[in-house]
């Protein structure tokens, strides 16, 4: 492996790179700056140049090698590689990722950032004439990375989703409103500004929050909620997790179907359901994070309801816009689909009424 070493750079750890695609090519110089590469491997790709041929080892022989860590150099297959390595007998502490490498690179700039803060402190001391607000050694809390940050990070579908849902419920103003598992810090906080909420979650809630009534419940059965008793119900970015075990719920591949069935069971005729889920061009299980649904799949799941409105938040978007049925097939991967359903006695039409 002598050809893989760069003796002009400082050697820190001896690593094997797993993943020989574009991300390795893009980050090769940065990797060599921080590590000694003693080998590279891939589950599918084979060496394409002299450097790769000199370094290549097969994944099945990793345990025969002496190395400090394995750098997983594939964002798309990161977790699949982690599983393969773990099943091979390699401990998670031996695995590292490109974001850790990027963090090391950013740390190289930390002295300059810290120097800037120290200069600010000296300047404050020089200008300050108020004894009550002088800088004391026992009250320092130096923050170095926010001088050039943006006002806020709102380019996520959660931001737009929470506003969409809160606005719907504010306008419809139901007598009672139930929610299953939505974000307390976002959506539920919006609702508590103008109404009380009955909140159902499989996770415990220790805090007592004014205006929030907590009910423990597994949304895959909801046995403690009477059928047809709920006038208004929301569940934003929740049902895609049911049955994957991520939040301590039992493993159940049919969990999302059971959740949809029980949401419709407890909903009263004429009651409204506000649902948010990841959507895309095909149904997909991204274990154990979430599922992604086709829009048509979601509409079929809620077959006891009619669709009143549907909006989309595109990936990294910060606003929701309504779409029509002819646009369903053009939805981008991992958009957020926002559905307003109404429970009806007889459902004949799948489209918006």
What pLDDT, in 10s, does the model give residues 101-144?
Answer: 777 776 666 777 888 889 999 999 999 999 999 999 898 998 87
Farthest CA pair distance, the chain: 76
pLDDT the model gives residue 152: 65
Give the 3-state secondary structure of residue 301.
helix
Task: Write the burial class of residue 54 (CB in 10 Å: 0-12 exposed, 13-18 middle, 19+ buried).
Answer: middle
Task: Write the burial class of residue 219 (CB in 10 Å: 0-12 exposed, 13-18 middle, 19+ buried).
Answer: buried
Query: Tokens at residue 153, please?
Result: 């990070």
Checking if the pLDDT of 10 tops 60, the result is no
pLDDT the model gives residue 347: 55
What pLDDT, in 10s, does the model give residues 34-51?
Answer: 899 999 999 888 888 888
pLDDT the model gives residue 351: 47
Question: Mean of the per-residue pLDDT values for the chain?
Answer: 90
Checking if the pLDDT of 52 tops 80, the result is yes
What pLDDT, in 10s, does the model give residues 148-207?
Answer: 777 766 657 899 999 999 999 999 999 999 999 999 999 999 999 999 999 999 999 999
What pLDDT, in 10s, does the model give residues 139-152?
Answer: 899 887 777 777 76
For 271-293, what is the mean pLDDT?
Answer: 96
Distance CA 156, CA 334 (A): 11
Statement: the pTM of the whole predicted model exceeds 0.85? no
pLDDT the model gives residue 284: 95
Which element (helix H / strand E) includes 191?
Answer: helix 189-192
Cβ distance 235 to 298 under 8 Å?
no
Distance CA 253, CA 260 (A): 13
Q: CB-hemisphere CA count at 13 Å for 97? A: 10
For 323-341, what is the mean pLDDT?
Answer: 95
* Helix segments in 11-74, DSSP class H: 22-34, 50-55
67 — pLDDT class (breaks 50, 70, 90): very high
pLDDT the model gives residue 216: 92
Q: 10 Å Cβ neighbour count for 284?
A: 15
Distance CA 244, CA 213 (A): 26
What pLDDT, in 10s, does the model give residues 14-23?
Answer: 999 999 999 9
b (16+ CB within 10 A) / e for 158-190 = bbbbbbbbbebbeeeeeeebbbbbbbbebbbeb
pLDDT the model gives residue 34: 86
Task: Write the burial class of residue 94 (CB in 10 Å: 0-12 exposed, 13-18 middle, 19+ buried).
Answer: middle
């Amino acid at each position: 492996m002598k050809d893989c070493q760069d003796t002009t750079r400082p050697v820190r750890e001896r690593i094997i790179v797993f993943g020989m695609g574009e991300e390795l090519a893009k980050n090769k110089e940065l990797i060599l700056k921080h590590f000694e590469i003693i080998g590279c491997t891939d589950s599918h790709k084979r060496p394409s140049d002299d450097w790769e041929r000199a370094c290549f080892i097969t994944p099945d022989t990793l345990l025969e090698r002496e190395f400090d860590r394995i750098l997983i150099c594939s964002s798309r297959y990161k977790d699949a590689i982690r599983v393969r390595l773990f099943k091979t007998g390699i401990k998670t502490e031996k695995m590292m990722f490109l974001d850790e490498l990027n963090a090391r690179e950013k740390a190289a700039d930390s002295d300059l950032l810290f120097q800037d803060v120290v200069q600010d402190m000296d300047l404050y001391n020089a200008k300050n004439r108020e004894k009550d607000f002088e800088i004391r050694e026992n009250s320092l809390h130096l923050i170095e990375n926010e001088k050039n940050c943006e006002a806020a990070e709102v380019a996520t579908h959660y931001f737009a989703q929470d506003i969409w849902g809160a606005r719907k419920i504010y306008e419809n103003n139901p007598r009672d409103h139930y929610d299953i598992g939505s974000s307390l810090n976002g959506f539920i906080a919006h609702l508590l500004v103008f109404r009380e909420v009955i909140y159902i979650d499989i996770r415990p809630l220790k805090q007592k929050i004014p205006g929030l009534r907590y009910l423990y419940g597994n949304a895959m059965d909801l046995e403690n909620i009477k059928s047809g008793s709920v006038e208004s119900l929301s569940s934003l970015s929740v049902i895609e997790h049911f049955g994957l075990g991520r939040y301590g719920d039992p493993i159940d591949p049919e969990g999302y179907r059971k959740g949809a069935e029980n949401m419709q069971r407890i909903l009263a005729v004429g009651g409204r359901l506000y649902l948010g889920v990841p959507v895309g061009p095909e149904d997909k299980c991204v274990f154990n994070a979430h599922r992604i649904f086709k829009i048509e799949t979601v509409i079929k799941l809620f077959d006891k309801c009619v669709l009143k409105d549907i909006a989309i938040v595109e990936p990294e978007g910060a606003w929701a816009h309504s779409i029509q049925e002819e646009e369903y097939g053009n939805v981008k991967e991992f958009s957020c689909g926002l559905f307003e359903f109404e429970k009806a006695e007889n459902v004949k039409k799948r489209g918006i009424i």
